[in-house]
Amino acid sequence: MGCGNGHFLAAYCADHPEVAYLGVELKSKRCLKAVQKIERRGLKRAFILQAAAEQVLEALPDSSVDRYHIYFPDPWPKARHRRRRFLRGENLAHLRRTLRPGGELAFATDFLDYFLQAKLLCILEPGLELLPAGPGRDIFISVYGEFLAKKGRTVHALAARRLGP
Ligand SMILES: C[S@@+](CC[C@H](N)C(=O)[O-])C[C@H]1O[C@@H](n2cnc3c(N)ncnc32)[C@H](O)[C@@H]1O
């Protein structure tokens, strides 16, 4: 969700050719770059949708997704803008609903308060359990992950799993 120019998506799909992957991105130029990466690598199971991730979430059927990757979503650091953050209550309920049982969501940010907010929401969301380890090194193949690692910034990450049927 918010796949940017598809850096992570293309690398991940090349490493996991068995996975069908949908990247959702608002900005058309970034979508175009992501599509070019997919074509260059000949990835047959990767797709890009230009859309608001919130709308896609609402439209997805129950239990239809194995894994969400939500890396470095816009942080909306000002207090009055925080309700615009992608990982908020109503979106998390849709993330949980659309994950298959046992499916996971992975999240990373360099904003500590966003991380703490996301962690608390995952703990409070019925039917989700926080996993002891986050998404691991995967996040550093996203553009922002690479950039932040080079700058020595601390990246906070978590993963949560959908419980039960
Ligand atoms: C900070 S960038 C991170 C890009 C990528 N995930 C990465 O880690 O390199 C956030 C991306 O989310 C996109 N975005 C923001 N709000 C969105 C929304 N509601 N739906 C889909 N994409 C969104 C932005 O256009 C931008 O490309």
Looking at the CA of residue 24, tell me the nearest atom of ligand 1: 21
Report the C-alpha gap between 40 and 7 in whole angstroms. Answer: 12
Residue of 86, 95, 110 best suited for mutating to test ligand 1, as the one with most atoms within 8 Å of CB: 86
Query: What is the CB neighbour count within 10 angstroms for residue 92?
Result: 20
Task: List, in order of start, the domains of the chain with CATH numbers.
Answer: 7-162 (3.40.50.150)
Contact 145, 9 (CB under 8 A): no
Residue with tokens 């080079």: 150
Q: Name which residue leads in pLDDT, 135 or 37.
A: 37
Name the CA radius of gyration of the chain, rounded.
Answer: 15
pLDDT, one tens digit per residue, over 137-162 is 788 888 898 899 899 999 999 999 99
Residue 165 in this model has a pLDDT that exceeds 80: no
Report the C-alpha gap between 17 and 23 in whole angstroms. Answer: 15
Contact 130, 95 (CB under 8 A): no
Rounded to an integer, the average pLDDT of 68-76 is 96
Does residue 74 carry a catalytic annotation? yes
Rounded to an integer, the average pLDDT of 125-130 is 96
- The pLDDT of residue 60 is 97
Query: What is the CB neighbour count within 10 angstroms for residue 94?
Result: 17
pTM above 0.85, yes or no: yes
- The pLDDT of residue 22 is 97
Among 79-83, 101-105, 134-138, 149-153, the least confident range? 134-138
Query: Which residue has the CA at smallest separation from atom 10 of ligand 1?
Result: 73
pLDDT, one tens digit per residue, over 27-54 is 999 999 999 999 999 999 999 999 999 9
Contact 64, 96 (CB under 8 A): no
- The pLDDT of residue 128 is 97
| Helix (H/G/I), strand (E/B), else coil: 68 | strand
- The pLDDT of residue 48 is 98
Terminal-to-terminal C-alpha distance of the chain: 24
Looking at the CA of residue 56, tell me the nearest atom of ligand 1: 20
Q: What residues line ligand 1, using a CB cutoff of 6 Å?
A: 2-4, 7-8, 24-27, 30, 52-54, 71-74, 142-145
